[in-house]
Amino acid sequence: MTDPHSSIILHFIARVLMIPFIILFGFYVLVHGEAGPGGGFQAGAVLAAAVILSRLSLGPELRIVSTRGLIVLAVAGLTLYVLTGLIPLFFGGEFLNYDRLPVPNRDGIVFGQVTVRSIGILLIEIGVMMGVMGVLGAMFDYLIGVERSDPDGG
């Protein structure tokens, strides 16, 4: 075992079976958070598991996002949360009052059962998911020292 990523069984199981399912399940947990168990924190942890598994089993060229990409993801997630809170301030609402988000609606309902409030909740859940996924993945990379062999400088 000179190359830790040379096993075809490991490669197949991780790339074809495990990682796609984990990513799909992560997004399911994210969008299902308004109706059942789930939410941004849990989805972020599940997606970070996929990122870490790709680093452990597939090697640097097949990992899902780079270390720099993970840090950008974490910053973007927190920014998305704060922006979702700030935007209602310009439309007559309080900080994080999603009712005043500038989304086309009729009496607070966008279409079907989707309300403006639930769109705001989904936005901040996506922000939390990006933040948790980014920080967990970046923490793993820095702890095992992957970032030093990063082609784009980490």
Per-residue x/- marks for other proteins, 96-135, CB under 8 A?
x-x---------x----x-x-xx-xx--xx-xx--xx--x
Indicate the residue among 22 and 71 with the shorter CB distance to other proteins. 71
Indicate the residue among 9 and 104 with the shorter CB distance to other proteins. 104
Between the alpha carbon of residue 64 and those of residues 34, 47, 142, the distances in Å are: 27, 10, 16
Indicate the residue among 26 and 33 with the shorter CB distance to other proteins. 33
Residue 87 to residue 127: CA distance in whole angstroms: 15
Q: How many residues bind other proteins (CB under 8 A)?
A: 40
34: Cβ–Cβ under 8 A, 6 or more apart, which residues? 118, 121, 122, 125
Phi first, then psi, for residue 146 (nearest 5°) are -65, -35
Helix, strand, coil tally for the chain in percent (to 5): 70, 5, 25
Could you say which residues in the range 28-87 bind other proteins, by CB under 8 A? 33-37, 39-40, 71, 74-75, 77-78, 81-82, 85
Q: Find out whether 68 and 150 touch, Cβ atoms under 8 Å.
A: yes
Indicate the residue among 19 and 116 with the shorter CB distance to other proteins. 116
Please choose, from the candidates 40, 65, 47, 59, the residue with its C-alpha nearest in 3D space to the C-alpha of residue 127: 40
Binding site for other proteins (CB under 8 A): 33-37, 39-40, 71, 74-75, 77-78, 81-82, 85, 95-96, 98, 108, 113, 115, 117-118, 120-121, 124-125, 127-128, 131-132, 135-136, 138-139, 142-143, 145, 147-148
